[in-house]
Structure 1
Amino acid sequence: MATNISRQALADWLDEALQPERFRDYCPNGLQVQGRDEIRRIVTGVTASQALIEAAVALDADAILVHHGWFWKNEDPCIRGIKHRRLSALMAREINLFAYHLPLDAHLEWGNNAQLARVMDWAPDIRPDGVPRRCGPDDLVWLGAPARDMTVGALAEDMARRLGRAPQVIGVPERPVRRLAWCTGAAQGMMEAALAAGADCYVSGEISEPTVHLARETGAAYLSAGHHATERYGVRALGAVIEAQFGVPCEFVDIDNPV
C-alpha cells in the first residue's frame, strides 16, 4: 500500500545510503530545491530537464530524484533564462529536487557502473574482501570481463542490442576482449587509469579527440556507448529500492537523449 515519507526522512536516508561526503564533486549532492514536506510520489530520471519537470507535474509528483541536477561548479549562478523557467516550475508546485552525481556513479549495488554491469551481464572482478575491483579517481572505474568470450565487435553488437544504441568503436573488431573496464557518463579521461590496471578494452559514455589517439597508440579498444544510455540504470535502481523500503511510488521517466 502506498504511503508517505517526509522530505527530511528521505534526504537523511539518501545521504546515509550514498555518502556524498566521500566525494569531491562538481555540484551539490542531496536536496537541491526544497518543496513540500510530505512526499507521496517520486519521479526519477537521468537529468533535471524541463521535460522531466513537466512529466513530474503531469504525474502529480512531490519530488524528483535525478543523477544530473543543477548548480554545477563554474556555471553562471544567475537565475534567468532556462534556469529561471526550470526553478520556477518546481517552486510553483512545491516539488522537491534531489540529485546525486558521483555518489550514484560509485554505489556498489545501485550505482551506474554496477547497474550497467548488470544490464550488460558483465562479470566484475571481485577482491578477496568481496568488493568489486575498481581503479581511477574515487575508484569510479570498474574492472572485469564479459560473461562469455567476446571480440570487440561482438561486444559492440551486444551493447547496441541491450542499450538500444550502437556504440562508437575505436579498435580492431576482431580482437578478443580479455580485460574489460567501464565507467559511465563522461569518463573518457579515465581510460589511462583503466589501461594501467590491465584493461585492453574500455567502455564509457562519451568520446573526445584525445581518446581516439590513446586507443590507437596503445592498441586498446574504446567503446563510447552514450552518456545518457549508460546512466539510465542507477537512478532507476535507487527509485526501486525507495519504493520497496518506504512504499512511496517511484516512476522512472526516460527523457530520450541521443548523446
Structure 2
Amino acid sequence: MLVSNIQLLELLNSLLKPEMVRDYCPNGLQIEGKRKVTKLVTGVTASQALIDQAISINADAILVHHGYFWKNESPCITGMKRKRIHTLLQHNINLYAYHLPLDIHSSLGNNAQLAKLLGIVDIAPLEKNNPQSVVMEGRFEGGIHPTRLTELLSNVLIKTPLHEPARKTKIETVAWCTGGGQGYIDLAAERGIDAYITGEVSEQTIHTAREMDIHFYAAGHHATERYGVKALGEYIQQKLEIEVVFVDIDNPA
C-alpha cells in the first residue's frame, strides 16, 4: 500500500501529540524525502549505520527516537552531521524523529514498553500531577528479589545491567525512566521507592543509591529505548499496511 510522507506524519503527530511536550529537539519530519512511502525502517538512532541499512533495503523513510538538531548543538551542517544529512537527501529518504513524545506515550512509549516487558503493574507518573511525566512508578506483583530483577533485565534487554544494591531483599515498588534518566533517582528515593531503573549512570548516582538505600539498575540507554520505536513501527504497519522493518544497530551504551 502507498501512503504519502505527509499522511505518515499526520498519523504520527495525532498519535504522539508532540505539541504537548517541551523537548530538546524538533519532533516530526526532520528531513523531507520522497512523497510516497512504501517501506519504513525504524531504529533507535539516526546513525550513519542505520541510514546505510535503510538504503540497502530500498526504504523510503526512517523513523527514530534520536534524530537531529538538538538544543545547544552547533547549527552548522559539517562533518558527521553533513554526511548523514547528505546521504538522506541524496537517496531522497524521509527522516522522522520523536524524542520525549515517544518516551511517554501510554502504550507504545519506551517507558510503557519496558514496564510491559518487566511485568510492572499499577503504573502512574512519579512526578505527581504531571501527565507528561518522563519518569514512572509501579510495582512488581508479589515482589521480586534484587538478583532476580538483574536476571530479568539481562534476559529482556539482552544486556547485563549495572546493579548497585540496597539493604532490602525484596523489591515491591519500582520507578523507571528509560535512556538518560539517572537524575530522577533522587525523586524515587525521596518517595521511598525500593528500586530505580534507567539506562545510564553518573558518578553521583551511585552515592545517591548507597546513601538513600535504594536499589539502582543502569540497564543501557540503547537497550532500554529499543522497544518503543519497535512497537510504534508495528502499529504503523497495522494501521497503514505499509512494510516496516525494525533495524537494531548494536550499541553497548
Per the normalisation by structure 1, the TM-score is 0.93
- The answer for the alignment partner of 1:117 in structure 2 is 115
The corresponding residue for 1:55 is: 53
Match of 1:191 in 2: 185
1:203 partnered with 2:197: yes
Contact 2:168–2:194 (Cα < 8 Å) also in 1:
no
The answer to whether the 8 Å contact 2:166/2:209 transfers is no
In 1: Cα distance, 2:193 partner to 2:50 partner: 37
Corresponding residue number in structure 1 for 2:214: 220
Q: State the distance in 2 between where 1:226 and 1:153 align.
A: 17
> Which of these residues, 223, 229, 236, is aligned with residue 235 of structure 1?
229
Residue segments in structure 1 that go unaligned for 5+ positions in a row: 126-131
**C-alpha separation in 2, matches of 1:33 and 1:171:** 44
Q: Which residue of 2 aligns with 1:128?
A: none
Hey, what does 2:74 align to over in structure 1?
76
Question: Distance in 2 between the 1:121 and 1:247 partners?
Answer: 30
Aligned twin of 2:22: 24
Structure 1 residue 147: Cα displacement = 4.2
Determine if the alignment matches structure 1 residue 143 to structure 2 residue 141.
no
In the alignment, which residue of structure 1 is the partner of 2:124? 133
The 5 A counterparts of 1:8-47 are 8-47=6-45
2:124 alignment partner AA: R
CA 1:147–1:249: 2 relative to 1, 3 Å: farther
When the two chains are superposed, the root-mean-square deviation of aligned CA atoms in Å is 1.3
**Cα offset, 1:222, TM superposition:** 0.5
- CA offset digits 1:108-141 (Å, max 9, x no partner): 0000000011122222x2xxxxxx4112373111
The equivalent position to 1:94 in structure 2, one of 87, 92, 95, is 92
Percent identity reads: 46
Residue identity opposite 1:145 in structure 2: R
Instruction: Provide, for residues 209-252 of structure 1, a one-character-per-residue CA deviation record: whole Å limited to 9, x for no partner.
Output: 11111111111111000000000000000000000011011110
> What is the distance in 2 between the residues matched to 1:226 and 1:118?
17
Structure having the larger proportion of residues in strand: 2
1:76 shift after superposition: 1.0
Task: Verify the 8 A CA contact 2:142 2:172 in the aligned structure 1.
Answer: no
CA deviation string 1:39-72 (max 9, x = no partner): 0100000000000000000110000000000000
The structural deviation recorded for 1:148 is: 4.3
CA distance in 1, matches of 2:28, 2:19: 10
Code of the residue aligned with 1:134 in structure 2: it is P
**Matching residue's letter, 1:135:** L
How many equivalent residue pairs?
250
CA offset at residue 149 of structure 1? 2.5
Q: 1:153 aligns to what?
A: 147
Q: Which runs of 5+ in 2 are unaligned?
A: none
